[in-house]
Amino acid sequence: MDAAIIAAGSEMLTPDRVDTNSLYLTDQLNAHGVEVVLKLVVGDHRARLVGAMRHALSEAHMLFVSGGLGPTEDDLTREAAAELCGRSLEFRQEICDAIEARFRRMNRKMAQVNKRQAYVIEGATLLPNARGTAPGQWVEFSGRHIVLLPGPPHEMKAMFEEQCLPRLEKLAPGLVIRTRLYRVAGMPESDLDQLIAPVYRNYVNPATTILAAAGDIQVHLRARCATAGEAEAMLKEVGDPIAELLGDRIYSSNGDPLEAVVGKLLRERAMTVCVAESCTGGMVAERITSVAGSSDYFAGGFLAYSYRAKNALLGIDPELLREYKAVSEPVARAMAVAALERSGATLSVSVTGVAGPGQGAETEPVGAVWVGVANADSCRVRRFQFAGDRQRIRSLAAQTALDMLRRCILEKALPRRDR
């Protein structure tokens, strides 16, 4: 069973509004084994609404339309759906009475325009609206289902839960959906795909989707089967070999972001971490402290952005900076070690790089980033080369620093030390 979703309303076509109703509907539909294959946003335009509905029904068995059930002249969803089905709209006195009563309860008088909301498509099932004046409608047409829902999210959700879910459960066969998610750091999307495509491309079920952000890739597997056991078996058959290929580049299998994973590792080991950031200017620390409870393991940080700050805040020798420049192995090392000493943390991570657009006084090119991770006994430093604009290079640098920290904790090359 598959579905399409239309958001109706010209305001949904402005630069300021996104259709969020469809996210809720997708979530609910997926949970009941219904796949959403198409979404549309259409303005208050009758012919375009009819066209969109026709196209949607050519692609999916069910169509959910939210919006355009209001009382004003630009609320055209009822008329469009009736036209599409070649059916008439019937005035129902009992709906009109109910709307009138609703207004009376609020000590208001029903406006004449609200009568528009009492028209129902011939043969449709009425979906009462507990939260507003616009009733919904459920129309069966040529073996397909058209469901008209109000636009305001709280009305739409209440109606979907109370009126649509029970009907959906009868319609949708007992399909079970199970998902697996791997989050991967430190790998370009094309490399990852080349590595795992030989596994997943032999399967339509589970479906594999790869989502890439800066230095952060999500591999989603979604199995749809008759039973939960079957679905889990499908996920295992495809997911396990993928996990083996990706190895420790997978930092999370439960959706946790990298900063939460690092936080959990630190907490488990009773470790604390501090940062010494240059080009990322606080981004690494901001991510670490975005996790509630991070004060248990975040020991603070130094934002040593300029040469002067590297000396004033961390005591980096000006001679070292002159000789090697700030974006260099020795300075990344010195920053990590100084931050560790000054904060009293178990671990430290340092980042120094050229975020661009200019190269400044550095000899390294734009996108070059050195990351250091130190504990009391040792310090590891690595160089990375990123591409992109300033924002992207900073994001990649922060992500990479967190991932290097994660690997160092896991490798135990940087051993446990009590606080």
Within 243-262, the residues that bind a second copy by CB under 8 A are: none
- Residue from the set 325, 394, 406, 407 that interacts with a second copy by CB under 8 A: 394
Using only C-alpha atoms, the chain has a radius of gyration, in whole angstroms, of 29
Burial of 227 (0-12, 13-18, 19+ CB in 10 A): exposed
CB 370 within 8 A of CB 328: yes
In degrees and rounded to multiples of 5, residue 418 shows phi and psi of -70, 150
Residue 322 C-beta: closest distance to a second copy, Å:
17
Q: Which is nearer to a second copy, 176 or 212 (CB)?
A: 212
**Per CB under 8 A, which region of 42-50, 135-143, 245-253, 261-269 contacts a second copy?**
42-50
In degrees and rounded to multiples of 5, residue 194 shows phi and psi of -60, -35
The continuous run of DSSP H or E covering 207 comes out as: strand 207-213
Residue 312 C-beta: closest distance to a second copy, Å:
6
- Check binding of 70 to a second copy (CB under 8 A): yes
Residue 87 C-beta: closest distance to a second copy, Å:
23
Residue 309 C-beta: closest distance to a second copy, Å:
3
Size of the site for a second copy (CB under 8 A): 110
Whether the bond into 173 is cis, omega within 30 of 0: no
- Check binding of 270 to a second copy (CB under 8 A): no
How far is Cα of residue 190 from the mean position of the Cα atoms in its chain? 21
Binding residues among 350-379 for a second copy as defined by CB under 8 A: 356-358, 360
Q: Which is nearer to a second copy, 15 or 412 (CB)?
A: 15
x/- contact string, 201-240, with a second copy (CB under 8 A)? x-----x-xxxx-------x--------------------
Residue 139 C-beta: closest distance to a second copy, Å:
21
Q: What three-state secondary structure class fits 185?
A: strand
- Check binding of 284 to a second copy (CB under 8 A): yes
Q: How far apart are CA 343 and CA 414, in angstroms?
A: 17
- Check binding of 33 to a second copy (CB under 8 A): no
Q: Which is nearer to a second copy, 167 or 220 (CB)?
A: 220
- Check binding of 72 to a second copy (CB under 8 A): yes
**Per CB under 8 A, which region of 89-97, 138-146, 226-234, 308-316 contacts a second copy?**
308-316
Percentages helix, strand, coil for the chain (3-state, rounded to 5) are 45, 25, 30
x/- contact string, 110-149, with a second copy (CB under 8 A)? -xxxx----------------x-x----------------
In degrees and rounded to multiples of 5, residue 45 shows phi and psi of -145, 110
Look-up of token digits 């630069």: 15
Provide the angle, in degrees to the nearest 10, between the axes of the packed helices 307-314 and 329-343.
30
The token pair at 295 is 């004060």
**Per CB under 8 A, which region of 90-98, 223-231, 233-241, 270-278 contacts a second copy?**
270-278
Binding residues among 166-205 for a second copy as defined by CB under 8 A: 188-191, 193-194, 197, 201
Residue 271 C-beta: closest distance to a second copy, Å:
14
Among the listed residues 141, 56, 132, 145, the one whose alpha carbon sits nearest the alpha carbon of residue 99:
132
Cα–Cα separations (whole angstroms), residue 117 to 75, 110, 232: 9, 11, 46
